[in-house]
Protein backbone atom coordinates (compact mmCIF):
# COMPACT_ATOMS: atom_id res chain seq x y z
CA UNK A 1 0.00 0.00 0.00
CA UNK A 2 1.79 2.97 -1.23
CA UNK A 3 0.76 6.47 -1.45
CA UNK A 4 -0.86 7.73 -4.58
CA UNK A 5 1.33 10.29 -6.43
CA UNK A 6 -1.67 12.22 -7.70
CA UNK A 7 -3.11 12.69 -4.20
CA UNK A 8 0.32 13.70 -2.96
CA UNK A 9 0.64 16.28 -5.74
CA UNK A 10 -2.81 17.75 -5.03
CA UNK A 11 -2.05 17.97 -1.29
CA UNK A 12 1.24 19.71 -2.00
CA UNK A 13 -0.47 22.23 -4.27
CA UNK A 14 -3.03 22.98 -1.56
CA UNK A 15 -0.28 23.52 0.99
CA UNK A 16 1.62 25.78 -1.41
CA UNK A 17 -1.58 27.68 -2.23
CA UNK A 18 -2.32 28.18 1.46
CA UNK A 19 1.20 29.48 2.04
CA UNK A 20 0.91 32.09 -0.72
CA UNK A 21 -2.64 33.21 0.05
CA UNK A 22 -3.41 36.79 1.20
CA UNK A 23 -2.84 37.35 4.91
CA UNK A 24 -5.86 36.96 7.09
CA UNK A 25 -7.39 40.00 8.89
CA UNK A 26 -5.83 38.78 12.15
CA UNK A 27 -2.40 39.31 10.66
CA UNK A 28 -3.27 42.97 9.98
CA UNK A 29 -4.71 43.32 13.44
CA UNK A 30 -1.62 41.91 15.16
CA UNK A 31 0.60 44.19 13.05
CA UNK A 32 -1.38 47.27 14.12
CA UNK A 33 -1.80 46.22 17.72
CA UNK A 34 1.85 46.82 18.72
CA UNK A 35 1.96 50.50 17.64
CA UNK A 36 -1.48 51.08 19.20
CA UNK A 37 -0.28 49.68 22.51
CA UNK A 38 2.87 51.81 22.29
CA UNK A 39 0.79 54.96 21.67
CA UNK A 40 -1.52 54.08 24.55
CA UNK A 41 1.43 53.50 26.92
CA UNK A 42 2.98 56.82 25.84
CA UNK A 43 -0.33 58.58 26.53
CA UNK A 44 -0.56 57.02 30.00
CA UNK A 45 3.03 58.09 30.71
CA UNK A 46 2.26 61.66 29.60
CA UNK A 47 -0.85 61.81 31.81
CA UNK A 48 1.13 60.49 34.78
CA UNK A 49 3.75 63.17 34.19
CA UNK A 50 1.03 65.88 34.12
CA UNK A 51 -0.55 64.46 37.27
CA UNK A 52 2.82 64.47 39.05
CA UNK A 53 3.36 68.09 38.03
CA UNK A 54 -0.07 69.05 39.39
CA UNK A 55 0.59 67.20 42.64
CA UNK A 56 3.90 69.02 43.05
CA UNK A 57 2.17 72.37 42.56
CA UNK A 58 -0.52 71.46 45.08
CA UNK A 59 2.08 70.28 47.61
CA UNK A 60 3.99 73.54 47.19
CA UNK A 61 0.74 75.46 47.59
CA UNK A 62 -0.02 73.63 50.84
CA UNK A 63 3.41 74.36 52.27
CA UNK A 64 3.30 78.01 51.19
CA UNK A 65 -0.22 78.34 52.56
CA UNK A 66 1.08 77.22 55.96
CA UNK A 67 3.66 80.02 55.81
CA UNK A 68 0.98 82.53 54.82
CA UNK A 69 -1.34 81.34 57.61
CA UNK A 70 1.43 81.58 60.23
CA UNK A 71 2.29 85.12 59.06
CA UNK A 72 -1.38 86.10 59.08
CA UNK A 73 -1.81 84.74 62.62
CA UNK A 74 1.35 86.51 63.76
CA UNK A 75 0.29 89.90 62.42
CA UNK A 76 -3.24 89.48 63.78
CA UNK A 77 -1.88 88.63 67.22
CA UNK A 78 0.43 91.67 67.09
CA UNK A 79 -2.53 93.91 66.31
CA UNK A 80 -4.95 92.67 68.97
CA UNK A 81 -3.73 89.48 70.60
CA UNK A 82 -2.71 88.65 74.12
CA UNK A 83 0.89 88.02 75.15
CA UNK A 84 0.29 84.25 75.12
CA UNK A 85 -1.17 84.46 71.60
CA UNK A 86 1.84 86.44 70.47
CA UNK A 87 4.31 83.98 71.92
CA UNK A 88 2.68 80.94 70.33
CA UNK A 89 2.18 82.76 67.01
CA UNK A 90 5.80 83.96 67.03
CA UNK A 91 7.07 80.42 67.62
CA UNK A 92 5.00 79.05 64.74
CA UNK A 93 5.92 81.99 62.52
CA UNK A 94 9.66 81.53 63.08
CA UNK A 95 9.41 77.82 62.25
CA UNK A 96 7.64 78.69 59.01
CA UNK A 97 10.18 81.43 58.28
CA UNK A 98 12.87 78.73 58.07
CA UNK A 99 10.74 76.83 55.53
CA UNK A 100 10.07 79.98 53.52
CA UNK A 101 13.73 80.39 52.65
CA UNK A 102 13.44 77.28 50.46
CA UNK A 103 9.85 77.59 49.25
CA UNK A 104 9.25 81.28 48.54
CA UNK A 105 10.71 83.99 46.35
CA UNK A 106 13.34 86.37 47.68
CA UNK A 107 10.80 89.22 47.83
CA UNK A 108 8.51 87.17 50.03
CA UNK A 109 11.37 86.09 52.28
CA UNK A 110 12.43 89.72 52.60
CA UNK A 111 8.88 90.66 53.64
CA UNK A 112 8.81 87.82 56.18
CA UNK A 113 12.10 88.98 57.68
CA UNK A 114 10.60 92.47 57.89
CA UNK A 115 7.65 90.96 59.81
CA UNK A 116 10.11 89.16 62.08
CA UNK A 117 11.83 92.47 62.82
CA UNK A 118 8.40 94.02 63.38
CA UNK A 119 7.74 91.45 66.10
CA UNK A 120 10.89 92.51 67.92
CA UNK A 121 10.10 96.21 67.47
CA UNK A 122 6.55 95.83 68.83
CA UNK A 123 7.70 93.88 71.86
CA UNK A 124 10.50 96.37 72.54
CA UNK A 125 8.18 99.39 72.25
CA UNK A 126 5.64 97.80 74.60
CA UNK A 127 8.38 96.86 77.05
CA UNK A 128 9.64 100.45 76.99
CA UNK A 129 6.12 101.79 77.53
CA UNK A 130 5.57 99.50 80.52
CA UNK A 131 8.90 100.60 82.00
CA UNK A 132 8.01 104.30 81.64
CA UNK A 133 6.16 105.95 84.52
CA UNK A 134 2.83 107.67 83.76
CA UNK A 135 4.12 111.09 84.72
CA UNK A 136 7.55 110.73 83.07
CA UNK A 137 8.39 113.24 80.32
CA UNK A 138 9.33 110.44 77.87
CA UNK A 139 5.91 108.75 78.25
CA UNK A 140 4.34 110.49 75.18
CA UNK A 141 7.28 109.37 73.03
CA UNK A 142 6.92 105.77 74.24
CA UNK A 143 3.17 105.85 73.54
CA UNK A 144 3.77 107.28 70.07
CA UNK A 145 6.30 104.54 69.32
CA UNK A 146 3.77 101.85 70.36
CA UNK A 147 1.15 103.55 68.19
CA UNK A 148 3.53 103.73 65.22
CA UNK A 149 4.43 100.06 65.58
CA UNK A 150 0.72 99.13 65.71
CA UNK A 151 0.14 101.16 62.53
CA UNK A 152 3.11 99.38 60.92
CA UNK A 153 1.59 96.02 61.85
CA UNK A 154 -1.68 97.07 60.23
CA UNK A 155 0.19 98.14 57.07
CA UNK A 156 2.07 94.82 57.00
CA UNK A 157 -1.22 92.96 57.46
CA UNK A 158 -2.71 94.85 54.51
CA UNK A 159 0.35 94.07 52.37
CA UNK A 160 0.33 90.38 53.26
CA UNK A 161 -2.15 89.31 50.58
CA UNK A 162 -0.39 91.18 47.79
CA UNK A 163 3.00 89.75 48.78
CA UNK A 164 1.71 86.18 48.88
CA UNK A 165 -0.55 86.44 45.85
CA UNK A 166 2.29 85.39 43.55
CA UNK A 167 3.30 82.53 45.83
CA UNK A 168 -0.19 81.09 46.17
CA UNK A 169 -1.17 80.95 42.50
CA UNK A 170 -1.83 77.54 41.05
CA UNK A 171 -1.49 77.51 37.27
CA UNK A 172 -1.91 74.14 35.64
| pLDDT recorded at residue 115 | 94
Q: Is the pTM of this model over 0.75?
A: no
Domains along the chain with CATH numbers: 5-165 (1.20.120)
Q: In the chain, which stretches have pLDDT less than 70?
A: 1-23
Rounded CA-CA distance 58/139 in Å is: 50
Rounded CA-CA distance 18/31 in Å is: 20
Mind listing the pLDDT tens digit for each residue in 132-154? 898 889 889 989 999 999 999 99
| pLDDT recorded at residue 81 | 82
Rounded CA-CA distance 96/66 in Å is: 7
Nearest to 96 by CA among 77, 115, 121: 115
| pLDDT recorded at residue 14 | 56
Amino acid sequence: MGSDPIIDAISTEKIVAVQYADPHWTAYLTALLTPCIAIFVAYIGYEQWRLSRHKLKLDLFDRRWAIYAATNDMLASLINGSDDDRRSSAKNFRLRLLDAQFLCSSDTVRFLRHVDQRILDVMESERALRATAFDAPERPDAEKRVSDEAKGCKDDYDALVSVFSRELQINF
